[in-house]
Amino acid sequence: VTSTVSASTSLISLAPLLQIWYPSCKKVVPRELVEKMTALGLAAWYLDDGCLKHNGGRGHPYATIATCGFTIDDVQWLRGWLRRKWGIEASVLTRQGIYPELSVTVRGTQRLCALIGQFVPPSMRYKLVDDAPPYASHTWNLGQPTVFLRALRVLRGEVSF
pLDDT in tens, 79-92: 999 999 999 999 99
Is the per-residue pLDDT at 119 higher than 50?
Answer: yes
Share of the chain above pLDDT 70, in %: 83
Helix or strand or coil: residue 63?
A: strand
Specify whether the CB–CB gap between 61 and 137 falls below 8 A: no
Rounded mean pLDDT of 117-145? 90
67: three-class secondary structure by DSSP: coil
> Looking at the predicted structure, is the pLDDT value of residue 155 above 90?
no
Is the model's pLDDT at 52 over the cut of 80?
Answer: yes
Query: Looking at residue 43, what is its pLDDT?
Result: 97
Are 43 and 127 in contact, with CB atoms under 8 Å apart?
A: no
Between CA 81 and CA 70 the distance in angstroms is 15
At 159 the pLDDT is: 44
Model confidence at 149: pLDDT above 60: no
> Which tens digit of pLDDT belongs to each residue from 28-49?
999 999 999 999 999 999 999 9
**87-92 own/partner pairs: CB under 8 Å, 24+ apart:** 87/111, 88/112, 88/115, 90/65
Q: What is the pLDDT of residues 2-12, one digit of tens each?
A: 666 555 566 77
SS3 80: helix
Residue 13 pLDDT more than 80? Answer: no
The pLDDT, as a whole number, for residue 161 is: 44
* CA angle, residues 111, 114, 115, in degrees to nearest 5: 90
CA distance linking residue 81 with residue 90, whole number of Å: 10
pLDDT per residue as tens digits for the range 16-28: 888 888 888 889 9
**What span, in angstroms and rounded, lies between the C-alpha atoms of 14 and 64?**
28
| Reported confidence tier of residue 160, pLDDT bands at 50, 70, 90 | very low
